[in-house]
Chain A
Amino acid sequence: MARPSFVGRDGKPRLIECVVLYFDLLGVGEMARGETADSELEKFDELLRQVLPYPIGAKAAAEATRLGASSAAVFSDSVVQTIPVADDLPAAAPIFQLVVQVAQSQTQLILSEYFARGAITLDRFHAHDGLLFGPALVEAAKLEQEVADVPRIVLSSRVCATLLEFAQAGGENAFYAEAPVLVDEDGVAFVDYLGGAFQSDPEIVVPELLRRHRKVVSAKLKESITIFHHWSKYRWAAEYHNAICLKNRDLLDGGEGHGSFLIDSIYTSRQFKPLMSAAARPDR
């Protein structure tokens, strides 16, 4: 089976079907401007290379593309990761892998105070020799800017439909719809990063991770209290945090009780539903 390639036999660039993850890291633009830009760069560089499981840059991308594997590109505060869809596999397979992987990366970024906002799309794309181009990225950027709104990585309607298709069909691939994805009150499906991290990483200590998450989100709420459009983003993160604490209360009651894990300045009313039990409307 031929590997999908961004360059045809005639040497011309090609668009191929890909799963594309695009996200912005909130606040990085401000960090890059101030007197601390040098130290921020050092921290940013080290963290991204530890958190992204795939290599960054054109050379790494070329090697990954040759082998049909995944690669990532970083431009200022924006990260793009691509997985070509192989001809012999359902598109749900790379989507599932990307969702599982990004849940862990997003969790680790947030614990280092980098909140990600972005989208996962499925469409044609070209990523070769430093050039990123195509409808999959255009849609992801549009979803990031117009739909995500708060620090969440949303799924395009086609990505949701691809995962759900297998649940409806049943059979051995029905599990794709169990990817760690929640549907928010506005009908937007997004990566359940904490839930995904709990499921895919048995080494995590849940109470410790939630305490660290609470600390970071609480600090951001406090920092942004005078700028409403910043504060409202972290308010969402706090509501998500509280919902996850309540969902996992059995894992927390043994210690101090789940109440001490909640961010108590936030009234918790937001409802998040599993993808399978909600009708997602990511494109509004």
Chain B
Amino acid sequence: MSMNYLFFGMFVFYLVGATSAVILNKKDRLCSYTSFMSAAIAALLGIIFSISVIFGDTFSYDLSGGSYLKFGFFIDRLSAFFILVISISVLAVSIYSTGYVREYFGKKNIGYLGFLYNIFILSMVFVASADNAVMFLIVWELMSVVSYFLVVYEHEKPETRKAGFIYIVMTHIGTGFIIMSFLIFVGTSGSYSFGTFAEAGKTMTPLLKDIAFIFALIGFGTKAGIVPLHIWLPYAHPAAPSNVSALMSGVMIKIAIFMLIRVFFVFLGASQSWWGYVVLALGTMSAILGILYAVVESDIKRMLAFSSIENIGIILIGIGASMIFFADGKPILSTLAAMAALYHLLNHSIFKGLLFMGAGSILFSTHTKNIEELGGLIKKMPKSAILVLIGVLSISALPPFSGFISEWLTFQSLLLGFNLKETFPMIILSISAAILALTGALAAFCFLKFFGIGFLALPRTKHAEHAKESNTPMLIGMGIFASLSILLGIFPFYVLPILERITASFIGNLDSFTFSSFATVAIPSSTISLSTPAILALMFIFMLLLFGILFLINRKKQPVYETWGCGQPVSTSRNEYTATAFSKPVQIWFKSLYRPAREIDVTYTTSPLLKESFKFESRIEQVIEQYLYEPVVDFVIIRSRKARRIQTGSIHAYLGYIFGTLVILFMFVIAGGSP
């Protein structure tokens, strides 16, 4: 009974947040507090609710009364997990937002933002809890439309408008494919309820199953940002306000993964292993392409967006492996791979949220998101810097932080592929592991560049010189995520049993195998184990010893002097390495992918020896956008132009169209009605 209160309490608080935002929209400060703190309270309720579902029973509630319009909630452990992910993110981001939106006080309508924010989160919760296809599609569309408005919140900028346009078009293409996939299930089962889809999945012909698989993959893949359907992500996530980007990257793209798991495992029964291979291949491709484009970016938010594509790829690698194992009848291996994927999903929503909030803090205090213009922030914003550093260490998968655990688990599950007796999976899984290793190293490269060039040494421009520390709500929000990153890294053995309950809901129960014992993560029936608390403890001991030794030896003062500049008396920021220079080796290595183009424009004064101005532009092509999308878009536009000829402007022509259509319809009725 109390679960009802929790769930509807959550729902109520989001509505309170939304309505209060509308009512109070003239009073910026009060409005920001009520709408965001309301969301935070709702998130807290959401966390309690989802944990009780995971450890208890599934929750369902039927609101429909009529025959056609069904409206009900069904939350099993998988949905509860995603509500948990949503709620954790919303809690931290909401607290952060109360500080962040001070940027917009007086300039934009805070009530509008607060309203959209709450409705957006509410729609995501509904997507996770819908129990039938119609309600799902309605709230999915609501989520897409509300997020569009959030993306174009700063619509005064033309690039934001373009970003919104690409986003709305891509998301609707995706929705179209989702509808088609659902229609196959509805057609087979005769009902819109998700509960019947699983049965329908068993009775469908293999061809229908394959088609449903592909449509669902394309549809939800567009929302998740899988290559080659990802092109909207690098536009939309940077354009939105940073707190919204944190939610979009952290949570919204994960909802797509949630539905992919539902469709593949629950509805379709993951019976074909070639599906798993396709998912694995797409995941690997997204991972490597995502990080390759992130490495060469100097815009912080665009870099984070590409990194999200990379991490979705890593999650899909885990899910693909899980599907391959499941189709081969190996539930233990399948569970391990799925746990790795879900762990990474949780971790990513936390550390990506942290990094986006960090980017927001940087934007808030320096008004620039170009790494090339930053520098020295660690001295101006010391607390934010440490929190961002924790996010950077997590995303680079370094021990003992959270990213390391999920990457370790993913590698171990790929390694276990050698328990399958055929050689094809062994080769594919090893290739995937090699590419995953490359991805991880490039991610470390990318985020080292971000933190090293953005935060360390001297400020490169006036923007960075005038940076101030972030305000308290922002620090609290980031602090929550930073602590979670550390905790999820040190205590994975508390998280894994929870994940096991969740994977049990779609893979099946494993009776006697446990993946964790005291302070360690262990792979069952092998000697492989990992204990991050032990590693952390060892490191602490060594660090203390070293610090002590260094402190005691040679207690002279340390003279401070200029950085070594080959004997030249230089110590300006002009000497520092730039972000572009830092990523140049990778750009040269993958030259054939990036196709860099360089343009140099020189204007001379009267003499050819004296230059007036020198413009250097270096560009990188987005290969998929250029060679896949642009031709298709051009084709569509050309055909549409030709089709415009129907619109003659003459009333007689339009009446003629109506008449023609009527005649054809009459003929259909006649033909259909004949016995």
**Does chain A bind chain B?**
no
